[in-house]
Amino acid sequence: MKKSDATREAILEAALRLFRKRGFEKTTMRDVAKSADVAAGAAYYYFPSKDAIVLAYYARTQDAHAELARAGMKRARTLDGRLRAVLHAKIDSMARDRKLLSALFRSIGDPASELSIFSAKTRRVRDESIALFDEALAPEELPPDLKRVLALSFWSLSMGLVLFFIHDTSPKQRKTRLLVDRAVDLLAPMMPMAAMMAPMGTSVLEVLREVGLTP
C-alpha cells in the first residue's frame, strides 16, 4: 500500500511538473512515465487517462482553494469582501497552472465523458466549490431559494473566470484580477436589490429543477 501510493504520487508530480513547464498538449504520456521512472503503461494503472491526471490535480487544488477561501472569508465583514476572498483564492490556488488547466475544459461538451466538469464523477469538487459561495452568502438576509440560485450563479461565474484566466496572457494575469474586482464591485451591491425579487428567485429555482440543472 505504501509503495504504491509513492508511485502514484511520483507519476502525478512528474506529470504536473511537465504540464506546467511545457503545457498539457506538448507533454507526452511517455515523457511523464520516463520522468517518473516507470514504464509507459504504469501511468494507466494509476490514472485512467491523461485528462484524469489533470482532474486529480483539480480535486487536490479544490481543497487548497477551500482552505484559502475560508481563511480569507474569516477576515472579511461584508459580502463584498467574502466574494472577493473566494474568487481571488480560486485564482491564487491555480496561479502557476494556467498551462495545464486547458485540459479541464476538453471534455465539457461531451455528455459521455466522465471527466466533464458536469459529470457525476466530478460532483464532489463541484459541490465543494458551490458550498464556498453558499458560505459567502450565508450571513446575508436573503430568502434561501434566492441564495441557492445565487450560489449556483457565482459558481458559473467562477468557471467563466477560470476560462478567462486560461486565456489571459497579461503579465501576472492582472486582467483576471481586475475582472474579479470589477465583477464583485458590480454584483455585491445588487444583492439587497435582489432580495426584492425573492419570488423570482424561487421561480428560477423551479425552472432549474424542472430542467435538471439542480437536484
Closest listed residue to residue 84, CA positions, set 210, 179, 175: 179
Query: For residues 42 and 157, which CB has a smaller minimum distance to DNA in the complex?
Result: 42
Residue 43 engages its own copies in binding (rule: CB under 8 A)? no
DSSP structure class, residue 112? T
Residue 118 engages its own copies in binding (rule: CB under 8 A)? yes
Span 8-47, contacts to DNA by CB under 7 A: 27-30, 37-42, 44-45
The three three-digit cell numbers of residue 21, written as one number = 513547464
Residue 214 engages DNA in binding (rule: CB under 7 A)? no
49 and 115 in contact (C-beta within 8 Å)? yes
Query: For residues 3 and 75, which CB has a smaller minimum distance to DNA in the complex?
Result: 3
Residue 141 engages its own copies in binding (rule: CB under 8 A)? no
Residue 152 engages its own copies in binding (rule: CB under 8 A)? no
Closest listed residue to residue 32, CA positions, set 115, 100, 94, 105: 100
Give the one entry of DNA, its own copies, none that residue 117 binds, where binding means its C-beta sits below a cut-off of 5 to 8 angstroms depending on kind: none
Distance CA 160, CA 53 (A): 22
Task: Using the CB atoms, write b or e for 29-45: b if 16+ within 10 Å.
Answer: bebbbebbebeeebbee
Residue 196 engages its own copies in binding (rule: CB under 8 A)? no
Q: Least distance to its own copies from the beta carbon of 169, Å?
A: 7
For the chain, the maximum distance between any two Cα atoms, rounded to a whole number of angstroms, is 61
16, 51, 88, 147: which one binds DNA (CB under 7 A)? 51
Residue 163 engages its own copies in binding (rule: CB under 8 A)? yes
Q: Give the interface segment with its own copies, choosing from 9-17, 30-38, 111-119, 140-148 (CB under 8 A).
A: 111-119
Residue 82 engages DNA in binding (rule: CB under 7 A)? no
The three three-digit cell numbers of residue 171, written as one number = 503579465
**Residue 201, number of CB atoms within 10 A of its CB:** 20
Give me the residue label for grid cell 485528462: 51
Closest listed residue to residue 52, CA positions, set 123, 120, 125, 114: 114
Residue 192 engages DNA in binding (rule: CB under 7 A)? no
Q: Give the interface segment with its own copies, choosing from 71-79, 85-93, 147-155, 178-186 (CB under 8 A).
A: 178-186
Residue 171 engages its own copies in binding (rule: CB under 8 A)? no
Using CB under 7 A, list all residues that contact DNA: 1, 3-4, 7, 27-30, 37-42, 44-45, 48-51
